[in-house]
């Protein structure tokens, strides 16, 4: 029996108070994605060391490599026990609940302005080979074209948002979804960062946050299920703990605290963290 150590509060409630029926959607060394048969939503079982996230349960396991769980294995729940095809049982007794709460935009923005400047410099030096950053430099035609399109489209999106032309902004945002070779395409990651800022209370664009949900309405056929879930959650202000921590550090943290939080975000995926961070910077700069 495995122990769930932490988990998204809503996910824990769903398992304990309702019967959960689903199947394994995809498996990785350190995460399993489960598709819920009732809602179609994806939920994640993650190993130790991965940060809290929407729809995610962190369990006391280092790796799934030896768990023998395969795609399409049945998943069901009985009270506080989640079972994966008789191969793994996870008890939720004692699991600490986590819910994403984004901080409020600060009234005084001096610290924020300084931190955004520091963050941009840090990304520049330590960013993880982002497709945005390496525009036209790789010598590989596919990579170069991809970088070019990402740059052009993000610039157009930001311009339209700055001018509050929301309908054309939706078109440009939609043109980013699914753009990027990886599991979570760079365009999607950028939007996750941007959506995070839109969902910060008291920011200049908070009244326009329905923009995010409208973009997500177009997203389903344009990207894969895993990335879609991240976009859908970010659109309503639900993001990974490392991202909400970064927002807090940006608003009120010292340079050291900012860099500590930023490093955790930059470590997401191979390039995803950097692309998310660039989306956050774009969103915050629109506010300044």
Partner 1 sequence: MTVQVLVKPNTYIDSVSLMSLSTKANQIEIVEQAIIAMGTEMNKEVIRNVGLMTPEVESAKTSDLVIIVKAASEELCEGAFESINELLTKKKDSSKGKSEVKYSTITSAVNGIPEANLAIIAVNGSYAPREARKALENNLHVMLFSDNVSIEDEIQLKTLAQEKGLLMMGPDCGTAIIGNVALCFANAVRKGNIGIVGASGTGSQEVTVRIHEFGGGITQLIGTGGRDLSEEVGGIMMLAGIKALEEDDATKVIVLVSKPPAPSVEEKVLAQIKQCKKPVVVWFVGGNEEKVTQAGGHFAKMSKEAALKAVLLAGADESKLNKRALNLPLIEEVRAKLNPEQKYIRGLFSGGTLCDEAMHIAMEKFDNVYSNIQREPEYRLKDVRVSQDHTFIDFGDDQFTQGKPHPMIDPSTRIERFIQEAKDPSVGVIVMDFVLGFGAHEDPVGAMLPAIIEAKQVAEEEGRHLEVIGYILGTELDSQNIEGQINKLLASGATHASSSQNAGLLAREFVVKGE
Please tell me whether residue 221 binds partner 1 under the rule CB under 8 A.
Answer: yes
Out of 32, 191, 222, 258, point to the residue binding partner 1 (CB under 8 A).
222
Q: Which is nearer to partner 1, 61 or 157 (CB)?
A: 61
Cα separation, 85 vs 83, in Å, equals: 6
Please tell me whether residue 274 binds partner 1 under the rule CB under 8 A.
Answer: yes
Query: Site map for partner 1, 149-188, x if CB under 8 A?
Result: x-------------------------xxxxxxxxxxx-x-
Query: Site map for partner 1, 77-106, x if CB under 8 A?
Result: ------------------------------
Out of 74, 83, 109, 128, point to the residue binding partner 1 (CB under 8 A).
128
CB of 129 to partner 1, least distance (A): 5
Using CB under 8 A as the binding rule, the residues of this chain from 33 to 52 that contact partner 1 are 49
Cα separation, 256 vs 245, in Å, equals: 13
Tell me the CA distances in angstroms from 161 to 165, 187, 204, 222, one per residue in order: 6, 16, 11, 22
Q: Which is nearer to partner 1, 175 or 199 (CB)?
A: 175
Cα separation, 12 vs 18, in Å, equals: 10
Q: Which is nearer to partner 1, 208 or 263 (CB)?
A: 263
Out of 1, 107, 125, 288, point to the residue binding partner 1 (CB under 8 A).
125
Give the position of tokens 């948002």: 161
Span of 97-105, 138-146, 158-166, 205-213 interacting with partner 1 by CB under 8 A: 138-146
Span of 89-97, 155-163, 200-208, 223-231 interacting with partner 1 by CB under 8 A: 223-231
CB of 132 to partner 1, least distance (A): 14
Q: Which is nearer to partner 1, 105 or 195 (CB)?
A: 195
Q: Which is nearer to partner 1, 24 or 234 (CB)?
A: 24
Three state DSSP letters for the chain:
CEEEEEEEHHHHHHHHHCCCEEEEEEECCCEEEEEECCCCCEEEEECCCCCCCCCEEEECCCCCCCCCCCCCCEEEEECCEEEECCCEEEECCCCEEECCCCCCCCCCCHHHHHHHHHHHHHHHHHCCCCCCCCCCCCCCHHHHHHHHHHHHHHHHHHHHHHCCCHHHHHHHHHCCCCCCCCCCCHHHHHHHHHHHHHCCCCCCCHHHCHHHHHHHHHHHHHCCHHHHHHHHHHHCCCCCHHHHHHHHHHHHCCHHHHHHHHHHHHCCCCCHHHHHHHHHHHHHHHHC
Please tell me whether residue 146 binds partner 1 under the rule CB under 8 A.
Answer: yes
Out of 26, 91, 109, 151, point to the residue binding partner 1 (CB under 8 A).
26
Please tell me whether residue 110 binds partner 1 under the rule CB under 8 A.
Answer: no
Query: Could you list the residues that contact partner 1 (CB under 8 A)?
Result: 26, 28-29, 49, 61-63, 65-66, 71, 125-129, 137-142, 145-146, 149, 175-185, 187, 221-226, 263, 266-267, 269-274
């Amino acid at each position: 029996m495995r122990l769930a150590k932490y988990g998204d509060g809503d996910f824990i409630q769903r398992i304990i108070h309702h019967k959960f029926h689903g199947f394994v959607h995809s498996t990785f060394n350190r995460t399993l994605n489960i598709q819920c048969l009732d809602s179609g939503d994806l939920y994640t079982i993650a190993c130790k060391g991965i940060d809290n996230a929407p729809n995610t349960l962190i369990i006391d396991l280092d790796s799934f490599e030896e768990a023998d769980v395969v795609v399409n294995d049945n998943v069901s729940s009985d009270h506080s026990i989640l079972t994966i095809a008789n191969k793994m049982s996870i008890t939720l007794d004692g699991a600490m609940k986590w819910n994403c709460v984004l901080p409020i935009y600060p009234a005084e923005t001096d610290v924020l302005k300084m931190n955004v400047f520091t963050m941009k410099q840090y990304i520049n030096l330590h960013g993880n080979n982002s497709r945005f950053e390496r525009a036209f430099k790789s010598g590989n035609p596919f990579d170069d074209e991809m970088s070019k399109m990402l740059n052009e489209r993000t610039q157009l999106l930001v311009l339209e948002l700055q001018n509050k032309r929301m309908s054309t902004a939706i078109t440009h945002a939609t043109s980013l979804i699914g753009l990027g070779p990886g599991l979570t395409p760079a365009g999607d990651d950028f939007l996750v960062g941007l959506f995070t800022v839109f969902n910060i209370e008291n920011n200049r664009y908070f009244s326009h946050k329905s923009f995010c949900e409208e973009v997500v309405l177009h997203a389903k056929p344009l990207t894969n299920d895993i990335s879609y879930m991240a976009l859908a959650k970010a659109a309503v202000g639900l993001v990974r703990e490392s991202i909400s921590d970064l927002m807090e550090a940006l608003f009120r943290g010292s340079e050291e605290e900012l860099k500590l939080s930023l490093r955790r975000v930059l470590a997401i995926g191979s390039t995803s963290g950097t692309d998310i961070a660039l989306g956050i910077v774009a969103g915050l700069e629109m506010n300044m």
